[in-house]
Amino acid sequence: MQPLTNRSKAVLQKEMTFAEKLYLPAIINGMIITFKHMFKKAATIQYPEQKREFSPIYRGHHVLKRDDEGAERCTACGLCAVSCPAEAITMQAAERKEGEEKLYREEKYAATYEINMLRCIFCGLCEDACPKEAIFLTDRLVPTEFERNDFVFGKDKLVEKVDDRVDVTKRQTQNVIDFKQNKKYSHNK
Amino acid sequence: MENYYIFKIILVVALFVVSLVVAMYSTFAERKISALMQDRLGPNRAGPFGLLQPLADGIKMFMKEEIIPNVSNKTLFILGPCLAMTTALMAGVLIPWGGKIELWGETFNLQVADLNIGVLYIFGVTSLGVYGIMIGGWASNNKYSLMGAIRASAQMISYEIAMGLAIIALIMSTGTMSLGEIAAQQDAGLANIVYQPLGFLIFLICAFAELNRAPFDMPESESELIGGYHTEYSSMKLGLFLFAEYINMFISSAVIVTFYFGGYNFPFQNEINEALGLSTNMATALGTIVMFGKIFFFIFFFMWIRWTLPRFRYDQLMRLGWKSLIPLAILNILITGVVMWMNGKLN
């Protein structure tokens, strides 16, 4: 029979030689290996001080973006909720009142917007579906909680602060912007 | 005579403290060395370089909930760890920790008790150690504990024979059973390892088995027996068991050093002491430091082996003990006898 890979080895059950039966040479060899490892660089990343470098396309904690004037971009169209395979997103839409133009960019906005972080699988489909460039996944880690209910993140945790913008340039590349603004695609019409 | 007792009391207390401190930092060293060998960093958060880690571990042990199983024999359950700890601390008094020391115009040996049957005493006390494990394991009323205890006692009995036979050859070549004299004999000449290489190897392997350390950690074998004899133990009782193991490791390193590696002696010590112009006390201190260096090397060696080799299977362990080590030890006695006869040392 032809071997599937060239890594296969024939199993030998030969009688051990005297030196092998003694085990001492093998033990000494093993000890040399462990001793050498004592001087190798540790693979440890000391977490709170040191952080592992994330991939540029890392998908972590979501952010709801504001536009340049500080108004929320989300219009509660619900496309993200529809696209979400884990059904983690819920929202309630509301109509913008007079005088709220600074807060919400368009006439409709999300009064509540919740993502259940225990359901979310961080696939990024919500980001793909969003026609308003409002939701992005960032390279931030989702904080841990003690209660199940605390994992339902509302707008307080999702919407970026006006004075503390979240950088999404890694995710919002030129390709992404072109895709979002190309009227050829149905979701942008 | 009063000075004699005061000195001995001071020495005993110092020995007690040193044993505990060395054991404490052995736990730290174990974690650190295992980490280094596995390309990790090990504990480094408590204090500088994690040096306060043993303290944190101790506090953790004390703070844990104390559980005594309902179905256990309570007296024996408590007696187990006490016995393990007591016997672990008892063997240290026989070790000569250094040469002569001059205090209050008198000369003392840096050894608590130099029994003329010291070797026998050491054997007796270390064998008692297994009672702590046996009683603890049996009193827990848990099948895993019992299995661990049975394994421990079987292992101890098997390896004690080979160990004893290895020591007989050493006693033959040194002609004494007093540890003080064994150490003193290696003063100017070569260490006993040169005369007894095979005996040393057998003794070392048996020491691993007596200590219940990897690759002979059958009684504990956390992967098969979920901790073995200390499965049911919690809080400081568990701490005592674990601590006793480290004290035993320290003491048996000291015994190995005394028996085979010249104890507090080191090569060219007389020349070096003369060249440096050291007084008796200073020379003794230097010898003690050298001895501790050797002991620490053996503690490191125990850990080195532990993080290198996997555990023996139980039947392999028994086969090694009964079919390899005991015949080898008897052969060693024979060879020793023949060599002594040829050198005309037997009359």
The per-residue DSSP string of B14-61 comes to HHHHHHHHHHHHHHHHHHHHHHHHTT-----SSSGGGTTHHHHHHHHH
Contacts of A41 in chain B (CB under 8 A): 39
B308–A30 C-beta distance less than 8 A = yes
What are B14's strand-pairing partners? Answer: none
Of A108, A106, A124, A151, the C-alpha closest to A62 is A124
Is A185 a residue whose pLDDT tops 70?
Answer: no
Average pLDDT over residues B88-101: 82
A30–B37 C-beta distance less than 8 A = no
pLDDT score recorded for residue A45:
87
pLDDT > 90: percent of chain B: 3
Q: Which two three-digit tokens encode residue B176?
A: 């004494």
Report d(CA B264, CA B254) in Å as an integer: 10
What are A89's strand-pairing partners? Answer: A115
The per-residue DSSP string of B261-302 comes to S-TT--TTHHHHHHHHT--HHHHHHHHHHHHHHHHHHHHHHH
Question: How far B304 CA sits from the closest chain A CA (Å)?
Answer: 7
Average pLDDT over residues B215-242: 78
A34–B304 C-beta distance less than 8 A = yes
pLDDT digits (tens, 9 = 90+) for B37-76: 888 888 888 888 888 888 888 888 888 888 888 887 888 8
Report d(CA B237, CA B317) in Å as an integer: 28
AA letter at B190: L
pLDDT score recorded for residue A188:
57
Search chain A and give the residue with CA nearest B41.
A42
Distances (CA, A) of B195 to B11, B173, B261, B335, B347: 32, 8, 11, 11, 20
Domain ranges of chain A: 62-182
Predicted ipTM of the assembly: 0.76
Question: How far A29 CA sits from the closest chain B CA (Å)?
Answer: 10
Report d(CA B103, CA B321) in Å as an integer: 47
Give the pLDDT band (50/70/90) at residue A124: confident
A37–B39 C-beta distance less than 8 A = yes
Give the pLDDT band (50/70/90) at residue A183: low
Contacts of A25 in chain B (CB under 8 A): none
Local structure of B164: helix, strand or coil: helix
B36–A42 C-beta distance less than 8 A = yes
pLDDT score recorded for residue A85:
92
pLDDT > 90: percent of chain A: 11
Output the 3-class SS for B143-157. Answer: HHHHHHHHHHHHHHH
Question: How far A15 CA sits from the closest chain B CA (Å)?
Answer: 17
pLDDT digits (tens, 9 = 90+) for B245-257: 889 889 889 888 8
pLDDT digits (tens, 9 = 90+) for A12-64: 888 888 877 778 888 899 899 989 988 888 888 888 888 888 888 888 888 99
Contacts of A38 in chain B (CB under 8 A): 33, 36-37
Question: How far A43 CA sits from the closest chain B CA (Å)?
Answer: 6
Is B104 a residue whose pLDDT tops 80?
Answer: no
Q: Whose structure tokens read 């190309």? A: A182
| A30 → closest Cβ in B33, B39, B309 | B309
| B40 → closest Cβ in A31, A33, A44 | A44
Mutating which of B32, B33, B39 best tests the A interface, going by the most A Cβ atoms within 10 A? Answer: B39
pLDDT score recorded for residue B216:
81
Of A134, A74, A73, A70, the C-alpha closest to A102 is A70
pLDDT score recorded for residue A32:
92
| B39 → closest Cβ in A27, A35, A43 | A43
Global pTM value? 0.79
Contacts of A43 in chain B (CB under 8 A): 39-40
Is B162 a residue whose pLDDT tops 80?
Answer: yes
Cβ within 8 Å of residue B317, ≥6 positions away: B155, B158, B209, B216, B218
The CATH code of the domain at A62-182 is 3.30.70.3270
Q: Whose structure tokens read 């571990």? A: B57
A40–B38 C-beta distance less than 8 A = no
Give the pLDDT band (50/70/90) at residue B347: low
A31–B contact, CB cutoff 8 A: yes
A18–B contact, CB cutoff 8 A: no
Domain ranges of chain B: 2-342
| A34 → closest Cβ in B40, B41, B308 | B308
Q: Which two three-digit tokens encode residue B232?
A: 């049911």
